[in-house]
Amino acid sequence: MQKDLSNYRKSYEKQELLESNCPENPMELFQTWFRNAEASESVDETNAMTVSTIGKDGFPKSRVVLLKKFTWEGYIFYTNYNSEKGKAIEANNNICLSFFWPALEQQIIIKGKAEKLAKNLSDGYFDSRPDGSKLGAWASDQSNVVKSREVLDENLSTFEKKFEGEEISRPEHWGGYLIKPISIEFWQGRPNRMHDRIRFTLAKDFSWKVERLAP
């Protein structure tokens, strides 16, 4: 099987990113870009982001998850702590997040340190989820091999019966991570592949160093 993609080309011409337009804190710029993406009718699931970890086998792995909150401190998402990504983070909490919004010709790449959220914060978010999602957190032994779809459905049915008429509590193996950024790069597509790349790097005094990178 073979397919030549060398003629796939697009000229990026929608916006620009200049140092003069950058705030001192990259979280301000992230918020601006995120809100613009959220308001765009061309962007679906603005909060979808790629999470990259280094597995226990030494290989990097990326997968798409949903950002559930961002604050001045960092970025929050939720998962099964016993999943492949959870085990990878436990062994090496260096993590990379990336957002790509093709309609806006923008991407954001975030390097940071992951840490588990406090239990009460994970409880609060879990309580806000639909019952089906809550039951799914119990029924799925995430990232482990299962014999068939029927096994998953049977597991779900088991927990539906277990919690019938009762409040569905958060399993201990499920919760949130806060990613505290140490580097945030904003990428804006430009013509002739001369893209704008502005990187913010956290300094020891907690100020942010701003640098332009060659495209």
Q: Which residues are catalytic?
A: 193
Going from the C-alpha of 10 to that of each of 6, 46, 180, 192, the distances in angstroms are 12, 22, 34, 9
Phi, psi of 86 (to 5 degrees): -65, -45
Q: List 115's β-bridge partners, or say none.
A: 178
SS3 18: coil
Phi, psi of 64 (to 5 degrees): -95, 130
Q: What is the 3-state secondary structure (H, E, C) of 72-96?
A: CCCEEEEEECCCHHHHHHHHCCEEE
SS3 154: helix
